[in-house]
Amino acid sequence: MGYPHPSHPGEQALLSKYFGDPGARSYEGWVKRGGYEAFKKALAMTRDQVTEEVKSSGLRGRGGAGFPTGLKWSFMPREVTKPHYLVCNADESEPGTFKDREIMRWTPHQLLEGCAIAAYAIGAERIYIYIRGEFTAEHRILVDAVEEATRAGALGANVFGTGRRIEAIVHRGAGAYICGEETAMMNSIEGKRGNPRIKPPFPAQAGLWACPTTINNVETLGSVPHIIREGGAWYKGLCRGNPKSTGTKLFSVCGHVQRPGNYEVVMGTPMKELIFTMCGGMRPGRTLKAVIPGGSSVPILTAAEIEDCVLDYEGVAAKGSMLGSGGMIVMDDSTDIVYQVMRLARFYAHESCAQCTQCREGTAWTTRILERILAGKGKPEDLDLLLDLADNMTGTTICVLSDSCAAPVVSAIAKFRPEFEAYLNRTRQPVLATA
């Protein structure tokens, strides 16, 4: 449902069915709502059958990459010769994205059930749930939920009397966007600076403490119980667009819409339906200017580009952007694109781990150049310089933080060039005092 707003008829609430219902938060409340039946069902299947079911559902990673979940699980070695680990990525930090927080605060057991099923499928006895440090309330909720589930025997040394060990612990981050990147997250859990690692080796080969590891996003794992309960074929049938994008997806819509919130729709739903019908469109007297559709790390789309854009991985890619995490930043005609791109660049500069030169220097200089443009001190060649920097920041680093900074800059210059030029040719008043 469009939490905090009432459910819209255009939504299909699986993950969000109990958002706003405090009764769903406890173990007992979750069991009353059919919880942990899927986990019991999975335990009666073989590990391979569980993975196959998820493969057949077409579920793709909801953290942003869109990698097929069942396939990812199948990369884990079949024989367990050293510990296997599951890491739940609850580090939700991508600007514009706030869906995982809602899953955790209302339905922590939905997440734990998905974690338990995934751990079973990949042969892991231990689950680390890595939650960002700022999510103080959700941290407490998850810690309590793990304790409850353990007391009830849904987690622990002997889950539901099967003799199988699946334990979970919540690991709290301490303020670092980059720890949402899976290899940085593993370093952080190991007690290191959150520097991303070079891949290969991939986590399934050598992850946490060089052991086979799978990292899945909260929403991905939360979807798993529904797939096991209703079947992969059923989930695959939830599709309005490209058959490669299946199931429901939570879209976090923020910015200048009348009803910002989380909306769960079937993949392939038109973007306009989400923004104008469900979210109520723009504020009175305002018109849509631009949308960043997949969290801040993806290219900006203009109002014209979203006209016939459908919300699935292929639909948004066809418009030259990415579905990403489904965090949509909606900007109306009051928005200063140059200023907001500077704020995004500042975000990436602040969050760069500083390992790679292109990123450390690139994000910082991108920010400084944008700041001087906004201060009325831009030079005629600054736009070319920004594009040249962006070119050097794309595809040249260990992780994609650098690329993520370049994407909004390049797309904004391409699509809103006159706004940058207005600062450069002094037809627009500076908005920053110094630079």
Partner 1 sequence: MSGSAHQAVHDAGYQPVFVGDALARLEALFAWYPTKQACLLPALWMVQEARGWVSQRGIGEVADVLGLTPAYVKGVVTFYTMYHTHPVGRHFIQVCTTSPCNICGAEDVVKAFLQHTGCGELGATSPDGRFTVIEVECLGACGFATPVLIDDDFIEGITPERVPGLLQGYK
- Which of residues 8, 62, 84, 101 is near partner 1 by CB under 8 A? 101
Size of the site for partner 1 (CB under 8 A): 56
- Which of residues 192, 199, 417, 426 is near partner 1 by CB under 8 A? 192
Mark residues 258-287: x for contact with partner 1 by CB under 8 A, - for none: --xxx-------------------------
The interface region with partner 1, picked from 29-37, 44-52, 308-316, 339-347 by CB under 8 A, is 339-347
Mark residues 284-303: x for contact with partner 1 by CB under 8 A, - for none: --------x---x-------
**Residue 35 to residue 225: CA distance in whole angstroms:** 9
Query: Which of 88, 93, 169, 106 is closest to 135 using CA atoms?
Result: 93
Interaction between residue 335 and partner 1 (CB under 8 A): yes
The least distance separating partner 1 from the CB of residue 194, rounded to whole angstroms, comes to: 6
**Residue 248 to residue 265: CA distance in whole angstroms:** 5
- Which of residues 44, 79, 81, 190 is near partner 1 by CB under 8 A? 190
Closer of 112 and 329 to partner 1 (Cβ): 329
- Which of residues 353, 373, 383, 405 is near partner 1 by CB under 8 A? 353
**Would you list the DSSP string of 396-425?**
-SSSSHHHHHHHHHHHHHHHSHHHHHHHHT
Interaction between residue 175 and partner 1 (CB under 8 A): yes
Interaction between residue 32 and partner 1 (CB under 8 A): no
Answer for the pair 207, 197: CB distance below 8 angstroms, yes or no: no
Closer of 246 and 363 to partner 1 (Cβ): 363
The least distance separating partner 1 from the CB of residue 121, rounded to whole angstroms, comes to: 22
The interface region with partner 1, picked from 21-29, 87-95, 113-121, 394-402 by CB under 8 A, is 87-95
Residue showing tokens 């210059």 = 413
Answer for the pair 110, 15: CB distance below 8 angstroms, yes or no: yes
- Which of residues 61, 96, 123, 281 is near partner 1 by CB under 8 A? 96
- Which of residues 35, 61, 63, 95 is near partner 1 by CB under 8 A? 95
CA separation, residue 187 to residues 207, 343, 386, 400 (Å): 9, 28, 32, 17
The interface region with partner 1, picked from 63-71, 143-151, 247-255, 378-386 by CB under 8 A, is 247-255
Pair of tokens at residue 433? 């005092």
Interaction between residue 19 and partner 1 (CB under 8 A): no
**How many residues in the chain?**
435
Query: Which of 370, 354, 286, 270 is closest to 318 using CA atoms?
Result: 270
State the DSSP H helix or E strand holding residue 324, giving kind and residue range, or none if neither: none
Interaction between residue 157 and partner 1 (CB under 8 A): no
Closer of 17 and 256 to partner 1 (Cβ): 256
Interaction between residue 172 and partner 1 (CB under 8 A): yes
Mark residues 302-331: x for contact with partner 1 by CB under 8 A, - for none: -------------------------x-x-x
Answer for the pair 365, 382: CB distance below 8 angstroms, yes or no: no
**Residue 90 to residue 83: CA distance in whole angstroms:** 22
The least distance separating partner 1 from the CB of residue 5, rounded to whole angstroms, comes to: 10
CA separation, residue 49 to residues 122, 174, 224, 231 (Å): 11, 38, 13, 11
The answer for 200, left when phi > 0, alpha when psi is -120 to 50, beta otherwise, is: beta
Interaction between residue 411 and partner 1 (CB under 8 A): no
Interaction between residue 169 and partner 1 (CB under 8 A): yes
Interaction between residue 215 and partner 1 (CB under 8 A): no
Alpha helices in 99-192 (DSSP H): 99-106, 108-122, 136-151, 182-189
C-alpha count within 13 angstroms, C-beta hemisphere, residue 184: 24
Beta strands 167-172 and 126-131: pairing type?
parallel
**Residue 295 to residue 316: CA distance in whole angstroms:** 12
Binding positions for partner 1, rule: CB under 8 A: 4, 83, 92-98, 100-101, 126, 132-137, 169, 171-177, 188-194, 209, 252-256, 260-262, 292, 296, 327, 329, 331, 335, 339-340, 343-344, 347, 350-351, 353
